[in-house]
Structure 1
Amino acid sequence: MFSNLSAGALGLSLDHPTAIDLAEKHGFGGVDPDLGFLRSLDGTAAIAEHAAAVRERGLQWGIAGLPVPLTAPAEEFRAALTDLPATLELLTAAGVTSVGTWLRPMHDDLNYRRNWVLHVSRLNLVGELLADAGLRLGLEYIGPKTFWSTERFPFLHSLGEARELIAEVGRPNIGLILDTYHWYTAGESAADLAGLTDADIVSVDINDARDDRERDEQQDLDRRLPGATGVIDLAGFMAAVRAAGYTGPVKVEPFMKSLAEQPVDEVLADVSQRLRDAINS
């Protein structure tokens, strides 16, 4: 596995070339691809040239966002699906190998079963297009009760449910985005990660939780840097990820507004060290 700089996940407004420079400067092993930047280049040959330059600097690609809203109204979903092949052409030209999205853990109108059927149907369509392009899809379940309990019908919000959904879709290019925060707020332990393999995991996020809140009081968009409070068993989580033989990106996504108010080099030096500690411990 490798440490990955995701500026957006840190709340930092960095253009793509700057993010690449800073990723190299601070010893990250990878950087997130920027679809907007790829679109600004002059065709797939220029994109491939850009990707080669990134690799020459010792950086791998992290994960791109899936530009298809899984729970959007039918017309919006169909339009996004129609546009997807053109986007995938840009990503494959750059050598990007995976995209990801999160699973909305509640719905005001669809009960659990109807929402499940909707996701299976749409993930089949999206997964087929991604497989044709040679890309994997990572799905992230969302754990905090303060989020999934806010609408009429809760939906899947645990590792077990996410694995069941992936199994029912049945496409080998679809796997998990694991996040320590959702793992913790879902009440899970390292035992729940046992048996996972590299083929099951597409991307990994690490964070910590506030130490002045109980598990069910934690807010999705109010986290802490990995290892900051010790509330989350980061060592146990990472040991399980290592046991899975995971080879992909690991990033930090704390949703801390204060990071954007600090000198960027100080933030990235700290984040890079926390990632190295987590990966190598």
Structure 2
Amino acid sequence: MSLSRFSINQMTVRQLSLPELVDACGELGVSNVALWREPVREYGVEAAAKLVRDAGLGVTTLCRGGFLTAVGPAERAKALADNRAAVDEAAALGTDTLVLVSGGLPAGSKDLRGARERIADALAELGPYAEEHGVRLAIEPLHPMFASDRCVVSTLTQALDLAERFPAHQVGVTVDTYHVWWDDRAPAEIARAGAGGRIHIFQLADWVTPLPEGVLNGRGQIGDGAVDMREWQGYVEAAGYTGPIEVELFNDGLWARDGREVLAETARRFVAHTE
């Protein structure tokens, strides 16, 4: 496969400043990026939008919104306000997709079902707001090891059960190989998502063992682990997905290296492990 569908997620090469990332993409012929709110805000949302626009780069997604499981009224209001701001930022950057990491259990709680219902309540407010701004919300299920502190949505089944309460142009899902490769129900759920027009973004990352002590930063470079990237690409494409394919890697080893070198390596791996 060529690089036409390849999108480099900013977190993969977070050691590069935004101007450095844009410059490196130009040198390598990379035409798409996925941005993160923190470095974009640091640079300035409008300035970042102009930078990528002037470089001819497409912004495939903005990450991340979410963290919608709080119980207290003040905390919930704060979370909703932050997500509305994330929608505004996505629209300003020219992307139609905001990735949502739903949030973990509130302190002292063991109520997973209640946490998921609070996500649904939040989506009922955020979905129409996002639609008004031309943005879709993409619920990302995270591996179950993150359920307690980061994301109570652990499977595509759970993500779709939430998303399908709302119109597909408001709420869909993120399919990330790192988080779903272990789930034997995931291929059927990808087909379900595709049938409903709810695959909003497809992301690649490999699963390598042993996991590092900081598990969050354990995503392996494509081809270094247990995930068959072509198999999962086949599932999403059989479901009708023809959009960009992001590579999103949280990896301390990659971050310690030269960012341009990592970007070039990632582009080569993408071509080698997709079709």
TM class, shorter-length: 0.7 to 0.9
1:147 aligns with 2:146: yes
CA–CA distance in structure 2, aligned partners of residues 147 and 85 of structure 1: 24
1:194 aligns with 2:216: no
Q: Is the 8 A contact 1:89 1:133 kept in 2?
A: yes
**In structure 2, the residue corresponding to 1:63 is in which secondary structure?**
strand
Correspondence for 1:271 among 266, 269, 272: 266
Deviation string 1:170-219 (CA, Å, 9 cap, x unpaired) is 55321111111111233445344224428311222212212558xxxxx5
CA–CA distance in structure 2, aligned partners of residues 98 and 69 of structure 1: 17
**In structure 1, the residue corresponding to 2:137 is in which secondary structure?**
strand
Correspondence for 1:233 among 203, 207, 228: 228
Letter of the 1:27 partner, please give it. Answer: G
Deviation string 1:194-249 (CA, Å, 9 cap, x unpaired) is 24428311222212212558xxxxx55423112213x2222210111222332333
Structure 1 residues 20-29 or 264-273, which shifts more?
20-29
TM-score between both structures, scaled by the size of structure 1: 0.79
Q: 2:206 aligns to what?
A: 208
Q: 2:218 aligns to what?
A: 222
Q: 1:78 aligns to what?
A: 77
Q: Is the 8 A contact 1:105 1:157 kept in 2?
A: no
**In structure 2, the residue corresponding to 1:28 is in which secondary structure?**
coil
Q: Which runs of 5+ in 2 are unaligned?
A: none
Letter of the 1:263 partner, please give it. Answer: D
Residue pairs, 1:172-183, within 5 angstroms: 172-183=169-180
The Cα of 1:77 is off from its aligned counterpart by: 3.0
CA–CA distance in structure 1, aligned partners of residues 40 and 191 of structure 2: 38
Letter of the 1:266 partner, please give it. Answer: E
Q: Is the 8 A contact 2:100 2:138 kept in 1?
A: yes
Q: Is the 8 A contact 1:68 1:77 kept in 2?
A: no
CA–CA distance in structure 1, aligned partners of residues 267 and 40 of structure 2: 24
Considering only CA atoms, is the larger Rg found in Structure 1 or Structure 2?
A: 1
Letter of the 2:6 partner, please give it. Answer: S
The Cα of 1:66 is off from its aligned counterpart by: 3.8
Q: Is the 8 A contact 2:143 2:180 kept in 1?
A: yes
1:25 aligns with 2:20: no
| Number of residue pairs the alignment of both structures matches | 265
**In structure 2, the residue corresponding to 1:70 is in which secondary structure?**
coil
TM-score between both structures, scaled by the size of structure 2: 0.81
CA–CA distance in structure 1, aligned partners of residues 231 and 24 of structure 2: 30
CA–CA distance in structure 2, aligned partners of residues 142 and 85 of structure 1: 22
1:120 aligns with 2:116: no
Q: Is the 8 A contact 2:65 2:101 kept in 1?
A: no
Q: Is the 8 A contact 1:33 1:96 kept in 2?
A: no
Deviation string 1:128-150 (CA, Å, 9 cap, x unpaired) is 21111110111111124x433x5
**In structure 2, the residue corresponding to 1:118 is in which secondary structure?**
helix
Deviation string 1:102-122 (CA, Å, 9 cap, x unpaired) is 234655415233222211101
CA–CA distance in structure 1, aligned partners of residues 89 and 186 of structure 2: 38
